[in-house]
Amino acid sequence: MAEVIVIGAGPAGASAALFLAKAGKETLVLDSNASMTKRAWIRNHYGAKDVSGPDLLKTGREQAETLGAKFIEEKVTVVDTNGGKKVTVKTESGRSYEASHIILATGAITELASAIGLELRDGREPRIKTVIATDGNGRTSKPRIWAAGTVAGVSVHTIITAGDGAKVAIELISELNGERYVDHDVLK
């Protein structure tokens, strides 16, 4: 059983996985390989020169894997909160995975959130009609289920969704640790 399952490996999901794994949390990322970032050409990402979406996704995944996150290409079809004690995730292939918490980072797609019964609200971005309602730190209307990135109502820009994934991971790590978690490395 993983501590956290991240559903989606776009900028929000991979960034959340990176922070979770670096904090020593057993992290599994399930991704359907449908990220809208795969079609992007990015010229406004702080700290990176022009980069293709596929290259950004590849680098983010490599960073998270280096820190211990495990990635599996699977489409999640069912999420069961088991009365709030743990979360079971089932995939299109019939596999099941369990975790203490999940983070939904499914980009513009809210079908899974709707099927779980999460509270939804109107989106603000063009072409993003519906998003998951959160408390501003990523908590949704169901215990143990968090949301990050565009699906949680932040801008579709990769730098913003990546930052939101990191923020939600920090909030979740803080909750798991019982104290505020801060991740700062220093030059040696």
Give the three-class secondary structure for 14: helix
User: What gap in Å lies between CA 83 and CA 105, rounded to an integer?
Assistant: 22
pLDDT of residue 84: 80
Amino acid found at 76: V
User: What gap in Å lies between CA 66 and CA 86, rounded to an integer?
Assistant: 27
Q: Is 90 left (phi over 0), alpha (psi -120 to 50) or beta?
A: beta
pLDDT of residue 45: 80
Residue with tokens 């949390």, as numbered in its chain = 25
Q: Of 141, 163, 138, 142, which Cα lies nearest the Cα of 151?
A: 138
pLDDT of residue 40: 80
Per-residue pLDDT 10s for the chain (188 aa) are 899 999 999 999 999 999 999 999 999 999 998 887 777 888 888 888 898 888 889 999 999 999 999 999 999 999 998 888 899 999 999 999 999 999 999 999 999 999 999 999 999 988 899 999 999 999 999 999 999 999 999 999 999 999 999 999 999 999 999 999 999 889 98
Answer whether 0.85 is exceeded by the pTM: yes
- Helices and strands (H and E) in the chain: how many: 4, 11
* Domains along the chain with CATH numbers: 2-177 (3.50.50.60)
Q: H helices of 53-187, where?
A: 53-66, 111-116, 158-177
HSE (side-chain half, CA atoms, 13 Å) at 43: 0
User: What gap in Å lies between CA 34 and CA 7, rounded to an integer?
Assistant: 12
